[in-house]
Chain A
Amino acid sequence: MRKSLLGLVCLMLTSAVNAHQLKAAITTVLFNDRTNNIEVMHRFYLHDAEHAVSHLFKKSPGRHNHADLISDKETQDTFSNYVEKQFKLETLTNKKLQLNSVGHQLDGQFFWVYQEIKVPDSVKGFRMSHGALRDLWPAQVNMVNVEGKGKVKTLTFSGEDIWLETKFEDK
């Protein structure tokens, strides 16, 4: 038997089985031919995101600010930074692709976080890690659509998934 290290994902919020289903985020990773960028667009339910920040705030004692994603800039920034840290992109050969942050946006019932990077030479696929909110509540499912490289490729992060991989078809 191979011995592996078992690490802890720290404290989570409550995880109720909801008849009111949220806890699902969608990310689009788009190869944009016009800009020659890989654009990463994360879409979260506002309410999920806000609860995440209220948990993050609690971790830094002495804060008085309560999470309010609609009207508080600090909440928005905290959440964006958190998401950017939780989303990782690598080439198939484990080369890290450092995404630049573009900004974030409220749109209806969603909160969007944007990142981008120049399309690297001869990228044949991705390794990807998307831990946002999944370290906070286990029911969270993050789905990623990779678009602009042939047929849409979908990766779904749930349970204990850490790194998933997708290869592109030759164009």
Chain B
Amino acid sequence: MSNKVSLIAAAIMLPLTMSVNASAINQTKGDFEDKFRQLGQALPTPNVYRNAAGEPGAQYWQQKVDYKIKATLDEKKRRLTAHQSISYKNNSPDTLKYLWLQLDQNIFKSDSIAELTSTVRTKLQSSPDKGKAKISLNKLRRQQFMADTELGYEIAKVKDSSGNALKATVVGTLMRVDLKKPLKPGKSLKFSMDFAFNIAEEDAVGARAGYEHFEKDGNDIFLLAQWFPRLAAYTDYEAWTNKAFLGSGEFTLEFGNYDVELTVPADHIVSATGELENASRVLTKAQRQRLEKAETSKRPVFIVTEEEALENEKEGTSKTKTWKFTAEKVRDFAWASSRKFIWDAKGYQQGGDEQPLVMAMSFFPVDGGDLWKKYSTESIVHTMEVYSRFSFDYPYPVAQSVNGPVGGMEYPMITFNGPRTELHDDGTRTYTQAEKRFLIGVVIHEVGHIYFPMIVNSDERQWTWMDEGLNSFLDGIAGREWDPTIPWGVEARDIVPYMKSERQVPIMTQSDSILNFGRNAYAKPAVALNILREVILGRELFDFAFKEYAQRWKYKRPTPSDFFRTMEEASGVDLDWFWRGWFYSTDHVDISIDRVYKLRLDTKNPDIDYARLREAELNKPISQFVERNKAEGRDLWIDKNQDISDFYDDNDRFTVTNKERNSYNKFLKGLKPWERKTLERAVKEDKNYYVLEFSNLGGLVMPILLQLTYTDGTVEDKYIPAEIWRRSPKKVQKLIVTDKNKELKDISVDASWLTADIDVENNYYPRRIIPSRIEVYKSKKNKGKVNRDIMKDIKTEIKKNEDKKEKPLTEDKK
């Protein structure tokens, strides 16, 4: 700490002249950057559909699309054939001459944009020692599968309700259907079509659905999603959302009601979006009784037990059964079908008026084992308990988790989750702790998606962060309420390597163009929201605003600006700087405490100040020259000639005379009464004035989380809001005043690692040596107990005394 004594005026004069030019868009003089410029210019203008509060406006509208589908699964050919009729209600103020549908299965066609633009990145080297370029077996398998299997939709008989053929034009993953007569605002129409496609093998092509084949018993699990031509959304902000499906940007769809009949092999068990309407036709009496029992059971009840599932998968059948499902107010419909499924269920009695009972259910093959039996359905219930607190009651009758070839994917009321157990040679099944964490984590995450974006219907094709970021943030909360000892994501420290890297795009980037998908669209927004909740707004304000957002946009279609505006409007805190920094830029957090000055008030009283100056002089280190002379025993002239002395031997240069005292008295007389009072008090208190100098090296403005440690051992936390940077975004100074006996020992910034500050070393004053991970690892190695293999060691049998004697006396020096 620079112990620099200098003078500060009795009144610290802050220059209060400001030249704020709020209307300017570009700063063209100097290098000042207004990190707090309001987002107004960057956000769309509020209107009657979306108001300035971030709420659906007075004339908010969205289309309604209802589907009636009859589909048949051909198990042998792994082919789906279906007929669907669609009711389209135009609630927009516009007249529509055509409708756009999404044909997601067409992404697998060889001429799709996704296939045509898939790239390889390989550096072919001419010299042989550089090795061969490589192609993976996976890639070859995919190519072979796609060459052997005709993929994509076959669509026929697109007709209006009178049976007239409608012109349908396929444009890659989209299809335009031209209407015979323009559809006016407020009017509805019906049309229908036949469609069919070959189901992709999920493991071969890599998709969000598909079939999985089990060599051992010859059966498949079918996961059907994005399986019917779905109406593209028509919106107030983009009109038709007919941007091609490239793979990353998922779906934005319309809400509506579904009436779906699924014809599958008679021994299959089907899990689907919606409520089963014909249980008496497709389930046995025992199964129906078990379902009823499950409604009030404390733990999941098996509807199909493991034994029954194993028996079921032994032989197939050529008979079929038709399962009927209905679903209301959903934006999509997905399903799963297999004779391998074990099925368990548990009623979640959430109360309330809307949906007092929700059936949480899981479907999994024997490979799911105890992992699924114990934790899948329970994780579904836990998710609803936590998420509803942050949003609204779960509004649907079922919430399901299905095990299949997909690692993790969500649809309304149904999710696909991948983790499984491992089979051992002795027939037992085990799973590791990591697999357990993964199962609980993925079920929470995917079921969480039923809230965001399946109910709070954000546009996934444009903004992945709006569902993945919000959902990752919430799954972190649900995870911590499951078991905080399990390391869940959302810790600021975990994104530090990403934040300091050079390969980044802003969070506000269209889904298909994102670099570093997981970190950009999942981790960074989740951490940012966590910081907003825990550091900037506090839980009370954040949770209120977040719930407001969820409730405002339940069953509606929010855009980023609606989220930003709601969070700001409901919390009452200007957060434009936060969205600007975290969502609109690639800045990172790196706040450095550069210097600290300690100052003492100049009293103007010569009897005090001169004495202090003398003391300061005496505190300076003695001249080495003089020291050495002394050591050598050099006699001084003044010592040898003490008989000669004068005035200056008794009075040093800090001696106060009446000249100074008169001038001091004159100064006092010249002060106004309030000035004298202020000075007197300040002199009496004699406080410590510390000037702390900070720089913002990362560019992202953030609050400064100060921790002050005093020489008396006390520690004080001080929160300096981000607004400290508003006039000087690169460097600021802060005055800290402490009582006379309260002296600063050291200072740290963000000592608890809450803000993803990328450089810890410059967060301390005085500086500390921050060892690297490897240095820490080397110094702690063998000291900590973390390296013990307790699970293995615990099986060690206790040695009896005789064993001890028998042990050969060889020394193992490994």
Residues of A within 8 A of B (CB): 2, 4-12, 14-24, 26, 28, 30, 32, 34-35, 37, 39, 41, 43, 46-47, 50, 54, 64, 66-73, 102-103, 105-106, 108-110, 112, 114, 116, 135, 137-139, 141, 143, 145, 147, 151-154, 156, 158-163
Contact = CB atoms under 8 A, between A and B. Distances in A.
Closest 9 CB pairs of A and B: A7-B132, A21-B518, A108-B487, A20-B408, A71-B791, A16-B407, A160-B122, A5-B132, A154-B502
Given A41-B773, A66-B424, A69-B432, A20 B445 contact: yes
A139 B410 CA distance: 20
A16 B121 contact: no
A103 B780 CA distance: 12
B422 A143 contact: no
B134 interface: yes
Residue among A6, A47, A69 with the most chain B CB within 10 A?
A47
B136 interface: yes
Given A23-B518, A41-B773, A54-B422, A18 B501 contact: no
Given A4-B124, A7-B131, A160-B133, A41 B502 contact: no
A6 B135 CA distance: 7
A160 B120 contact: yes
Contacts of B489: 109
B405 interface: yes
Interface in B373-414: 405-410
B503 interface: yes
Given A70-B433, A160-B120, A162-B122, 10 more contacts: A5-B132, A16-B418, A22-B518, A24-B516, A30-B772, A47-B434, A64-B425, A135-B136, A137-B138, A143-B503
Given A30-B772, A138-B138, A159-B120, A20 B441 contact: yes
B518 A152 contact: no
A62 B366 CA distance: 24
Interface in B412-470: 418, 422, 424-425, 430, 432-435, 437-438, 441-442, 445-446, 449, 468
A163 B775 CA distance: 28
A11 B140 CA distance: 10
Contact of A19 (B130, B410, B491): B410
B773 A19 contact: no
The secondary-structure label for the interface of chain A is loop
B124 to A, nearest CB: 5
B435 A47 contact: yes
A34 B425 CA distance: 51
B774 interface: yes
Contacts of B515: 156
A103 B777 contact: yes
Contacts of B774: 30, 32, 37, 39, 41, 102, 114, 116
Contacts of A110: 487, 494
A4 B132 contact: yes
Contacts of A64: 424-425
B501 to A, nearest CB: 4
B11 to A, nearest CB: 44
A153 to B, nearest CB: 7
A48 to B, nearest CB: 9
A21 B438 CA distance: 11
B786 interface: yes
Contacts of A138: 136, 138-139, 206
Contacts of A141: 516
B746 interface: no
B142 to A, nearest CB: 9
Contacts of B184: none
A19 B446 contact: yes
B447 to A, nearest CB: 11
B205 to A, nearest CB: 9
Contacts of B138: 11-12, 15, 137-138
B134 A7 contact: yes
Interface string B470-495: 00000000000000000111010010
B202 interface: yes
A16 B403 CA distance: 13
Given A66-B430, A154-B503, A160-B121, A71 B790 contact: yes
